[in-house]
Amino acid sequence: MAEQIHNIYINSTNKTGNDKNYDYKLYFSNYNIIPKTNDEVFLEITSFQTLNIFYNINDLSKRFTIKIRTEQEINFTYIFDIDTGNYNVYEFMETINSICSDYINLSYNEKKNKWNFTSKQPLNITVFLMPSYYNYKYFGLPPNVFTEILYPINGIGTYSDLINMNNFSLIVIKLFGLIQEQKTLDNFNETITRGDIIALVNRQDSNINSLINWVDWNHTFKTKINNLNIDFLNFVFYNERNELLTDLGDWLITMKITIKMHLQLQQSNQ
């Protein structure tokens, strides 16, 4: 069985029309990748690179709420916004303490990687904090519910759960335009379905502004396809919450298409 290998280099800077980095359409009809009916065709992304420039505080994750309850059971609710950008744990603490200075104070326990929240209101006033679904990991508190922030006793108020300042952990690359015999199982949308995932890239261990350099050493997502004319592919990028990575920077991908050609032996007439 003979093999024909096509190594393809894809750079997101080569865009046309309305293409975005997170929704990139590749047309390469002139490359003439046209398998025959009996050929076996395999496609895989072999490497992916991009800068880790994602903001952990963005338009979705910048908002949280504080509620004050008086002795008369009267509630006052205040919504706060954090400036978008990348924050480490100390920058986040400083920002929250600055904009919420009348209500709460955060201190960081390095050994436990937890916040110690304390109320700055008088004892007869109860303070609550509610993070959103998009930033609750930064606060270490449950999302979309009010958690009581206790008045400090010997400096201790309300301890958080473990803190994670990463907005998301995975870059999920989906590739549309393939006819696949067996698709990957995708349960990033809370239900298990046949999906179009062609690569999972862990970006959590990459420092901010450093290069995310992923290589598929084990050919994990090598997939057999039945396309008879490979001339259009659509790369779409998500996180593990199935949200589009609209702030994805420029990237490059190397991809390999392998065609295993079945040679038919023909007997010559004597």
pLDDT in tens, 105-157: 999 999 999 999 999 999 999 999 999 999 999 999 999 999 999 999 999 99
pLDDT of res. 269: 42
Residue ranges making up the domain that contains 208: 2-54+168-261
pLDDT in tens, 241-260: 889 999 999 999 999 988 88
pTM of the model: 0.82
pLDDT of res. 266: 39
pLDDT of res. 20: 93
User: What CATH number is given to the structural domain containing 46?
Assistant: 2.60.120.1100
pLDDT in tens, 143-156: 999 999 999 999 99
pLDDT of res. 179: 73
pLDDT of res. 188: 57
- Rounded to whole angstroms, the Cα distance separating 19 from 126 reads 50
Give the end-to-end CA distance of the chain in Å, rounded to a whole number: 26
Residues 201 and 248 in one domain: yes
225-261 burial by CB neighbour count: b if 16+ within 10 A, else e? bebeebeebebbbbbeeeeebeebeebebbbbbbbbe
User: Among the ranges 36-50, 76-90, 174-188, which has the highest mean pLDDT value?
Assistant: 76-90
Tally of domains within the chain: 2
Residues 42 and 101 in one domain: no
pLDDT of res. 268: 40
Region 163-183 average pLDDT = 85
Last residue of a domain, one of 139, 159, 179: 159
